[in-house]
Structure 1
Amino acid sequence: MRHPPRSAYFLTVGAAVALIGTAIAPVVTASGAAPACTVEYSVTSQWDSGFQGAVQVTNNTAAVNSWSLVFDFAGGQKLTQGWNAKWSQSGTTVTAANENWNGPLASGASVSAGFIASWSGSNAVPTGFRLNGTACNVDAEDPSPSPTPSPSPSDPPATGEPPALSVSGNRLVDASGATRRMLGVNRSGGEFMCVQGYGIFDGPVDDAAIEAIADWKANTVRIPLNEECWLGLSNIKAEYGGADYISAIKDLVARVEAHGMTPVVELHWSYGQYTGNSAGCSDVHASCQKPMPDAQYTPSFWTSVASTFKGDAAVVFDLFNEPYPDRATSTATQAWQCWRDGGTCPGIGYEVAGMQDLVDAVRSTGARNLILAGGIAYSNDLSQWLTYRPADPAGNLAAAYHVYNFNTCANESCWNSQLAPVAAQVPLVAGEIGENTCAHSFVDQVMDWFDARGLSYLGWTWNTWDCSSGPSLISDYSGTPTSYGAGLRDHLLTLDTTG
């Protein structure tokens, strides 16, 4: 899926990274009068050199027209960015002042804001919160600050392990041979935040956020990746690339699995300069969708990803998000040959890694995980997928397909003529389904067609973007659906995820 403009991402949400532990400073008071204000401070995500934090401020006195929260970092932390407030730091003192739109705070009302900061040594919870100069979290009769605990890990609930999926004829099966379907959502962010220098994930990926996905009865989460961030290339900020990025992805995969869901890791944005027909950008770096993977970095990316997860058979590998060599080449034959074999492809100025190259890269590590390979035309065309499908020595390769209401193959006639023959021979997974109408009439048709044939599909996308800019399933990360998302959620809740 092509992404909406960057501004759509950052109007209401901030960057997030993989959760390691959650530290919360609870409100603890003595037996006197209620505190004038209460502040709940939490570390929602933490990694080697930084963390994401949040504050929730409650005004317990008379209404105010503006507010300013002040507190002191106790462990040498340094603020780097924030949202829902005007954040600043002087020495150890941090100030969060209201934005123009969230200044009024009625008696009993609360406001929340978030930030990202660096840390080293320790990440102690701050004390001495003050709202408009008044101490918070303390009795009116006892001005001493309330005690706060040290950060402690938050263990995800044990909800069962996801199955190790494999291909059996045209079905996906688990270790017992039972038919399985992949039904769930995409969780976008890991493909663009890092290369744009904002973080690793767009919005929270903590345990509560992943549990909200599971509450929709999803059994699969597709996680888009960026090859330059994974490989830690020089154009990526060190804190968002290489080992830190890999660690964050591994943590998210583990959290998805802890909720019994299948993680699908897929290459979304890649290296290589392309300025031809339907170019997403002119940048050589992995800052947009390219028509095909590049031979310079993508095989190394998949060798590393496969080596990382080959010991976990529940992880699925989706080779390349949406190939579109057909927009560069003059014939369909050239496009499909480029798709499978790579090399020097007409209309593409960089050396291409074909799907066979990527299958070989994965299998060279000894990984036998399920692999998905999407067709051409942004994975919307599978007309010659069977003719050009890569050879897989593990016999564990399935076809991937994407469909939106604005695609060419977006009706039952096309699905019957083009998809049904593929689905008769190999498992078929719709890695992205969606519509840009802020409604769900089209995806209802898609789901009905796929359900009737016992096929898999994943909605785009579990992000709080404007649904008119791109299909967004939710309006908040607790899982409140948009009108479009309600169609997917309500449908998933009625389904049996086995065949």
Structure 2
Amino acid sequence: MRHPPRSVLLAFAGTAALVAGALLPVVTAQGAAPACTVEYSVTGQWDAGFQTSVKVTNNAAAVNGWSLSFDFANGQKVTQGWNAKWSQSNATVTAANESYNGALATGASVTAGFVASRAGANAVPVTFRLNGTTCNADSGPTPTPTPTPSTSPTTPPGDGGRPPALRVLDNRFVDASGATRRLLGVNRSGGEFMCVQGRGIFDGPVDDAAIKAIADWKTNTVRIPLNEECWLGLSNIQPAYGGSNYVNAVKALVARVEAHGMTPMVELHWTWGQYTGNSAGCTDVHASCQKPMPDMRYTPAFWTSVADTFKNDQAVVFDLFNEPYPDRATSTATQAWQCWRDGGTCPGIGYQVAGMQDLVDAVRSTGARNVILAGGLTWSNDVSQWLTYRPTDPTGNLAAAWHVYNFNSCVNEACWNSTLAPVADRVPLVAGEIGENTCSHGFVDQVMRWFDARRMSYLGWTWNTWDCSTGPALISDYNGTPTAFGVGLRDHLRALNG
């Protein structure tokens, strides 16, 4: 999607199954107010791991910098976390504040979380220490776990258990049991532009409450647009917003999406390479706008790194490149599709292009078997020759991506029947972006009906608080209040999955 002008953005910037029926403990401190209290909640549990939320409340004098520690009793190991710097030495786990949440006034709280592995029992830690002071100390006997029912991971909408590993079977996505999975959800824009503009990493909050608000729409997938220069930490990116800081922020967001039972789709949106031809989004060589094709200089390295990061989690879907448009640079459709697949020296594009085959090869070279999406031409609105030019994938886990807005070319059922249906008969087809700039939802209603009739996948653009006629935007605030456009998607998903 072509984004709002920067002035508008600045105005708004400010494999294990969950044990069905299991009871997961939520521990809350009780009794007289101690120096600090800790609420430790196991929010998801499966055969080899679990996910936990930890809320810390400071009841003593204000502190500027905090560190929470506790001990595991059953050999559990923290594998990733968010909202704190998590580390572990033998049985002792430590969570230290991030730069943005180190100040804790009297009575203030902070919530962080983590995912951990386990080999059997999963006893709740007994003692918590904040800056060396024992928390819950005056609360009497060890708190009694309050059981909360778990949710089956096969539940399609979000806020269930961990999302399943996915694979392609014929023209469907399926989980380990062979059950068909549709990807229905939203885009969470921001990671593609905030960092390169020197304004942060995400546009608006991406904490647990913000992700829960997405799940409350009964979504089961969140697409996360990324920027290759920020991920790779190139010299033009402020260090606070690039490299390991950017990568860790993306990993934490992926973990939060999964903690709410939703499939994370990581997608490369903006890339390096100077293009000044037809329909150029900018003249900048840096990754500050949509380019017609990814570049050979950095994009294969980006996907090698992303695939290495997530290859052990096949719930994560890889969307190779947002909206190719080499057809605007070349004179024939054949040249455009050849450029799309093979890359190299493409007519009208002044940098060496990484074709879709190059990117599939980069992902698979890491051993990653994650599902891959490849969008077609004309800003992913044209898949008419996708089957003819589709890349070779040794795993068979390749699907087609398509985008549609009311102002595109292929916007009616006649076009969909003639160009989309043949592709969808052979491989899974995902409408990675659907939307309209009318502040209404009549067009996307039509799109969703056509895709529903064929049990296919779609995601609305975008879960950001922009002006819906400029963005367009699904929400007016990050609590999930829909715009006049977004209400169509929200009500439709709730009707499907409610």
TM-score of the superposed pair, with normalisation by structure 2: 0.74
Quote the residue 1:137 is aligned against: none
Quote the residue 1:284 is aligned against: 285
How big is the shift at 1:467?
0.6
Would you say 1:209 and 2:210 are equivalent positions?
A: yes
How big is the shift at 1:153?
2.6
Quote the residue 2:276 is aligned against: 275
Quote the residue 2:227 is aligned against: 226
Equivalent runs, 1:299-310 vs 2, <5 Å: 299-310=300-311
User: Secondary structure of 1:223's partner?
Assistant: strand
How big is the shift at 1:434?
0.2
| Structure 2 Cα separation of the partners of residues 4 and 469 of structure 1 | 6
Would you say 1:123 and 2:82 are equivalent positions?
A: no
Match of 2:112 among 153, 157, 180: 153
| Structure 2 Cα separation of the partners of residues 475 and 187 of structure 1 | 14
Q: Percent identity?
A: 76
Bigger Rg over Cα: 1
How big is the shift at 1:12?
3.7
How big is the shift at 1:494?
1.3
1:341-363 superposed Cα distances (whole Å, 9 cap, x missing partner) = 00000000000000000000000
Quote the residue 2:460 is aligned against: 459
Would you say 1:390 and 2:391 are equivalent positions?
A: yes
How big is the shift at 1:455?
0.6
Quote the residue 1:5 is aligned against: 5
User: Secondary structure of 2:226's partner?
Assistant: strand
8 A contact 1:13–1:203 mirrored in 2: yes
| Structure 2 Cα separation of the partners of residues 249 and 185 of structure 1 | 16
Equivalent runs, 1:59-208 vs 2, <5 Å: 75=64, 119=99, 123-126=102-105, 147-149=106-108, 151=110, 153=112, 159-208=160-209
| Structure 1 Cα separation of the partners of residues 369 and 12 of structure 2 | 41
8 A contact 1:75–1:119 mirrored in 2: no
How big is the shift at 1:312?
0.4
How big is the shift at 1:164?
1.0
234 and 375 in structure 1: CA distance in 2 versus 1, 3 angstrom threshold: same
| Structure 1 Cα separation of the partners of residues 102 and 473 of structure 2 | 34
- 2:274 aligned partner, one-letter code: Q
| Structure 1 Cα separation of the partners of residues 165 and 427 of structure 2 | 17
Q: Give ranges in structure 1 of 5+ residues lacking alignment.
A: 15-28, 30-71, 78-116, 127-146
How big is the shift at 1:9?
1.9
1:77-101 superposed Cα distances (whole Å, 9 cap, x missing partner) = 9xxxxxxxxxxxxxxxxxxxxxxxx
| Structure 2 Cα separation of the partners of residues 395 and 151 of structure 1 | 44
1:308-344 superposed Cα distances (whole Å, 9 cap, x missing partner) = 0001010000000000000000000000000000000
- 1:367 aligned partner, one-letter code: A
User: Secondary structure of 2:459's partner?
Assistant: strand
290 and 434 in structure 1: CA distance in 2 versus 1, 3 angstrom threshold: same
8 A contact 1:404–1:435 mirrored in 2: yes
How big is the shift at 1:11?
1.9
8 A contact 2:218–2:497 mirrored in 1: no
- 1:208 aligned partner, one-letter code: A
User: Secondary structure of 1:179's partner?
Assistant: coil
176 and 191 in structure 1: CA distance in 2 versus 1, 3 angstrom threshold: same
CA RMSD of aligned residues (A): 2.2
Quote the residue 2:430 is aligned against: 429
1:262-307 superposed Cα distances (whole Å, 9 cap, x missing partner) = 0000000000000000000000000000000000000000000000
| Structure 2 Cα separation of the partners of residues 2 and 155 of structure 1 | 35
How big is the shift at 1:10?
2.7
| Structure 2 Cα separation of the partners of residues 123 and 334 of structure 1 | 55
| Structure 2 Cα separation of the partners of residues 335 and 328 of structure 1 | 8
437 and 74 in structure 1: CA distance in 2 versus 1, 3 angstrom threshold: same
User: Secondary structure of 2:400's partner?
Assistant: strand
1:13-44 superposed Cα distances (whole Å, 9 cap, x missing partner) = 42xxxxxxxxxxxxxx9xxxxxxxxxxxxxxx
8 A contact 1:371–1:397 mirrored in 2: yes
| Structure 1 Cα separation of the partners of residues 200 and 404 of structure 2 | 29
How big is the shift at 1:476?
0.3
